[in-house]
Chains A and B, each alone.
Chain A
Amino acid sequence: MIYLDNAATTAVSKTALDAMLPCLTEDYGNPSSLYTLGQRAAERLYDARQTFAKYLNAARPEEITFTSGGSEADNQAILSAAALGEKKGKKHVISTKFEHHAVLHTLQKLEKHGFEVTLLDIPPDGVITADEVRTALRPDTCLVTIMFANNEIGTIQPIPEIGKLCREAGVLFHTDAVQAAGHLPIDVQAMDIDMLSLSAHKFHGPKGVGVLYARRGVPLVNVIEGGAQERGKRAGTENTAGICGAAAAFREACENMEQNAAHMRPLRDKLIAELTKIPHSVLNGDPVRRLPGNVNLCFEGIEGESLLLLLDGKGIAASSGSACTSGSLDPSHVLLALGRPHEVAHGSLRLTLSEATTEEEVDYVLSVLPGIVEYLRDMSPVWDELERGIRKHQI
């Protein structure tokens, strides 16, 4: 099996697994317990917190809160910033049209509570500009939340510039770094980031663990009430094993970041160069300001789910932005925000590599994909109309 859906989830690394097992078998104590077994778990937790603070360059480990994942971290970050804003009479939030649903749905929740949300349009290259953010700022803006790198098209946003302008304007800046953490360098202090979300299972840690970074001075509002854990900001007995696995994975990813990227980039670029040779295909998002492992293309005249099923039949795991794969009647909101027409967005394919992806695997994909596209096009009434000129080619 050739796994090319690392944006969806990643395999847990040996490093992470080795860090997790002792927490499950020996140091299984509740970190809040007074006796030695509990305190051993508490120490592991402390070390994990230090690790995240170090590799994010947070000023203090207390600025790291462990959650059940990126979604929870996004929810808590946004609700906290909103609560702070509301106290000051500021109820305007700026975000973008291609954020993850964990952000978008939380913003929709805020709208029901009288907040006004501005969702910035996405330029055709998939990269927001700091100027657009600046233009949208208002005296009553309490939060800007913009993802570090987009999960579907992989484009990297100008986070330090946005951070700087928010800091100057006195507006809180949160970034959903779920796809970027472990793959791109992040320095929360240098980048003027007030809050950040990340998720372990995107960098070879286990599922069910996330981190919310919040600079001291940004009070958090509880999403989960009930206990004193995480300085009273996130109740629940800590998932020590998961957290330790996450920390070990994060350390390993950050230490090997450059070589991992150096490995993936040429493979990514090879896929892009070869696959865009297929007629009436297009790359979604800037080719350079892009995550090292992300490829996202549209093939006109075919539909994504059938593409994925046929790839699966050839042992290749990938994903798509088609409606059928999203479970709704609309294709990916990211591709639509990019300006792709519905019909074109339905024919999308996302391939996301990891540092384990080999050139042989890439060559195999290149050997089967064009044939699959051709097979589906031969069967497609849409392609038939496009080729006969009844319908105009859009890409």
Chain B
Amino acid sequence: MALYSDKVMDHFQHPRNVGKMDDADGIGEVGNARCGDIMRMYIKVDHDTQTITDVKFNTFGCGSAIATSSIATEMIKGKPISEALKLTNKAVVEALDGLPAYKLHCSVLAEEAVKAAIKDYFDKNHIPYGDELAMDCEHCMACDSHHQ
């Protein structure tokens, strides 16, 4: 399909880090089956270095949804949480060599899934957090929907 870049097709056909984690330190699930995309991300965190040592994902959704989840896991694996928090949907789209305009919302979902997993880790470990987990809707412009 010329619809998707080679990178997107690669991540769609050979997704990285698919799976579940029984002993995850944080689990984030975003999206809803009504609109057709759901991403669940599991992270393992080294508490001392606050580094994400392992990531797994499960996604119900289209080619873009699967590709963006896959690449997002690659982009945060092995990184400190502080860096993973800076992951934007724009970075995800760029890493995939672009997405069709009407698929941009999938990349937003990937960013949200990462943030949700980290938030879950913070909550479980009583680590305080501030605005860094808020969605940057002003600069995103991927869709019209309101994010939590």
Contacts and interface: CB of A to CB of B under 8 A. Distances in A.
A313 B13 contact: yes
16 contacts: A303-B36, A303-B61, A303-B62, A303-B65, A306-B63, A310-B13, A322-B36, A331-B36, A343-B33, A343-B34, A379-B15, A379-B18, A379-B59, A381-B40, A382-B38, A382-B60
A63 interface: no
A312 B62 CA distance: 14
B63 A309 contact: yes
Given A379-B18, A379-B66, A302 B36 contact: no
B98 to A, nearest CB: 17
A303 to B, nearest CB: 5
A151 B117 CA distance: 42
B127 interface: no
A361 B20 CA distance: 36
B33 A346 contact: yes
A382 B62 contact: no
Contacts of B39: 381
A305 B63 contact: yes
Contact of A324 (B1, B12, B29, B36): B36
Range for the number of chain A residues in contact with chain B: 20 to 34
Contacts of B37: 303
Contacts of B36: 303, 322-324, 329, 331, 342, 346
A329 to B, nearest CB: 5
Interface of A: 301-306, 309-310, 312-313, 322-324, 327, 329, 331, 342-343, 346, 378-384
Contact of A303 (B20, B40, B60): B60
Given A309-B1, A379-B18, A381-B38, 10 more contacts: A302-B60, A303-B37, A305-B63, A306-B65, A327-B102, A331-B36, A381-B39, A381-B58, A383-B60, A384-B20
A381 B1 contact: no
Interface of B: 1, 9, 12-13, 15, 18, 20, 29, 33-40, 58-66, 102
B15 to A, nearest CB: 7
B60 A323 contact: no
A204 B35 CA distance: 35
Contacts, number: 70
Contacts of A384: 20, 40, 58
A306 B60 CA distance: 9
A312 B1 contact: yes
A309 B10 CA distance: 12
A306 B61 contact: yes
B19 to A, nearest CB: 9
Most B CB atoms within 10 A — which of A310, A379, A384?
A: A379
Contacts of A382: 33, 38, 60
Contacts of A329: 35-36
Contacts of B102: 327
Nearest to A301: B60
Contact of A380 (B12, B13, B34, B58): B58
Which A-B residue pairs are the 8 nearest by beta carbons? A343-B33, A305-B62, A324-B62, A381-B40, A381-B58, A382-B60, A323-B36, A380-B60
B18 A306 contact: no
A312 B12 CA distance: 12
Most B CB atoms within 10 A — which of A306, A329, A331?
A: A306
A276 B103 CA distance: 31
A310 B14 CA distance: 11
B59 A380 contact: yes
Contacts of A324: 36, 61-62, 64
Contacts of B35: 323, 329
Contacts of B66: 306, 379
A306 B62 contact: yes
Most B CB atoms within 10 A — which of A303, A329, A342, A381?
A: A381
Contacts of B9: 309
Contact of B29 (A303, A309, A323, A381): A381
B33 A309 contact: no
A386 to B, nearest CB: 10
Contact of A322 (B15, B34, B38, B62): B62
B58 A379 contact: yes
A309 B3 CA distance: 10
A346 B64 CA distance: 15
A157 B102 CA distance: 35
Contacts of B29: 381
Contacts of B64: 324
A59 B60 CA distance: 54
A342 B33 contact: yes
A342 B37 CA distance: 12
Nearest to B31: A381
Contacts of B13: 310, 313
A37 to B, nearest CB: 41
